[in-house]
Amino acid sequence: MTIAFTFEIFLPVIHGVFTATHDLATNLIARGNRVIYIAPRWPESKINEVDGIPVYYITSYETFVYPGMRNVIPWSRHVERVLVKENVDIVHITGPWLLNWATLRAGRRRGCATVQTFHTMLQEPTYIRYFTHTDLLVAPLRMAAWKYFGIYIRRSDIVTGPSRYVVDELSKHYPDQRIEYVPNGIDLDDFADPPSIDSVIARYHEFRERSIVFVGRLGEEKAVDKLIDAARIAVDIDPGFRLLIVGDGPGRRRYQNQVRRLGLAGHVFFLGRIPHRDLITSGLLHHARANVTASTTESFGMTVVEAMAAGTPSIVANVPGISELTVGTGLTFKKGNLRDLAEKMVLLFRDDELFTTLRAGCREHARRFDGRQIAEQFEALYESIYPPRRRRSRGR
């Protein structure tokens, strides 16, 4: 089969959707399938292939809704020409936005089987506030969002969710659709044989044996400001506390100013963006005391799974979705309770026995996310709808 994956945000921006999809794509290729990528063109679009996977760029223009995202003309015929040229069998979209819509429409016109992975719960209040900068629109836009998602979901032969929470929510709103649980996968072999802790410290001078790490986009939706506020409380509890922030994004300067304002310059450090491959082989995750996020919008949490594969516990909010991943592998804190977050970070920072127990749990549970098994599950789903059923007129 030839599978076309479509992205709304693409390299050089690194994010969980691309990381999960690329792992799936490489494992599908290893199973004898062909894969292409379709992405919006923007000034930084200089990569014509990724690990041998060809990339087709579609003309796009800037949008101010979400930094890094581009708009395309949803009725663009360029997408259909790509599908014809590559003789695509399966269209697999990764989110409900314009390029994915153009690909979904083109795929159905061409008679391709259509799959959507619902990665992000954009109807969550945090995202709506991020997009609109007001609380006044949260309630009406949440209702509107479910209707909008339905435009994509009802035109997909299969919808998958990476967490049981996502699947349950989608099933409640779209009971007649085929919705399947398939978690995101990773290549467990990438996490074998990490460098020594001395090598990590030599390369990253801010790192220490009991460092806590955050990995992610430095944007409002990741609640980095809340994490820094919690770090201030953690330092008051234990002056040896140390937090390393890995990533970049529109909020970086603001968060750096926050660290200076709170007097955390010797405790919270910004390492900037580290290429994904370099990060998972750097030893930062392997030798960290914990991986942490204050975000309450994660439907899955790729960094949690990657930390798990490295044998490192995670600390996350007790919200549906991401908290599924920390049973036996990490700790949860009460949503919105910064003191509880700080105390959980200090607890793992100090408690060797707890750390050892959770570390063992990480190594055991990481096997559930073996990318080879996830690719096998997706291949079975593809085969169940290929060749596609005859299209109904409303699906065009």
- Asked if residue 99 and residue 196 are part of one domain, the reply reads no
Average pLDDT over residues 15-33: 94
Q: Between 389 and 101, where is the model more confident?
A: 101
Name the pLDDT band for 62 (thresholds 50, 70, 90): confident
pLDDT more than 90, % of the chain:
76
Which CATH number covers residue 271? 3.40.50.2000
- pLDDT tens sequence across 37-50: 999 987 777 789 99
Q: Three-class SS string for 120-157?
A: CCCCCHHHHHHHHCCCCCHHHHHHHHHHHHHHHHCCCC
User: Shortest CA distance to 39 belongs to which of 62, 7, 14?
Assistant: 7
- The sign one gets for the Cα dihedral 325, 203, 14, 294 is positive
Say yes or no to pLDDT of 125 above 70.
no
The DSSP result for 19-84, as a single string, is HHHHHHHHHHHHTT-EEEEEEE--TT---SEETTEEEEEE--EE-SSSTT-EE--TT-SHHHHHHH
- Asked if residue 262 and residue 281 are part of one domain, the reply reads yes
Name the pLDDT band for 396 (thresholds 50, 70, 90): very low
Average pLDDT over residues 365-380: 96
Q: Domain count of the chain?
A: 2
- Asked if residue 168 and residue 265 are part of one domain, the reply reads no
Residue 364 lies in a domain: yes
- Asked if residue 375 and residue 364 are part of one domain, the reply reads no
Name the pLDDT band for 325 (thresholds 50, 70, 90): very high
Distance between CA atoms of 96 and 118, rounded to whole angstroms?
A: 8
Residue 25 lies in a domain: yes
What was the pLDDT predicted at 259?
A: 98
- Do 316 and 332 contact (CB within 8 A), yes or no? yes
Residue 84, exposed/middle/buried by CB under 10 A (0-12, 13-18, 19+)? exposed
The DSSP result for 215-236, as a single string, is ES--SGGGTHHHHHHHHHHHHH
- pLDDT tens sequence across 243-280: 999 999 889 999 999 999 999 999 999 999 999 889 99
Say yes or no to pLDDT of 392 above 60.
no
Q: What's the mean pLDDT when you consider all of the chain?
A: 91
- pLDDT tens sequence across 70-117: 888 888 899 999 999 999 999 999 989 899 999 999 999 999 999 999
- Asked if residue 282 and residue 197 are part of one domain, the reply reads yes
What was the pLDDT predicted at 391?
A: 46
Domain with 203, as residue range(s), is 188-368
Name the pLDDT band for 393 (thresholds 50, 70, 90): very low
- Asked if residue 172 and residue 23 are part of one domain, the reply reads yes
What was the pLDDT predicted at 390?
A: 45
What was the pLDDT predicted at 18?
A: 92
- Do 118 and 349 contact (CB within 8 A), yes or no? no
pLDDT more than 70, % of the chain:
94
- Asked if residue 257 and residue 161 are part of one domain, the reply reads no
- pLDDT tens sequence across 199-247: 999 999 999 999 999 999 898 889 999 999 999 999 999 999 999 999 9
Average pLDDT over residues 307-333: 95
Distance between CA atoms of 293 and 332, rounded to whole angstroms?
A: 10
- Asked if residue 101 and residue 203 are part of one domain, the reply reads no
Say yes or no to pLDDT of 394 above 70.
no
- Asked if residue 54 and residue 181 are part of one domain, the reply reads yes
- Asked if residue 16 and residue 94 are part of one domain, the reply reads yes
Name the pLDDT band for 134 (thresholds 50, 70, 90): confident
Residue 394 lies in a domain: no
Sequence-distant (6+) residues with CB within 8 A of 241 are 212, 231, 234, 235, 267, 345, 346, 349
Residue 395 lies in a domain: no
- Asked if residue 161 and residue 296 are part of one domain, the reply reads no
Average pLDDT over residues 316-338: 94
Say yes or no to pLDDT of 67 above 80.
no
Residue 118 lies in a domain: yes
What was the pLDDT predicted at 73?
A: 86
Residue 145 lies in a domain: yes
Residue 242 lies in a domain: yes
- Asked if residue 111 and residue 230 are part of one domain, the reply reads no
Residue 126 lies in a domain: yes
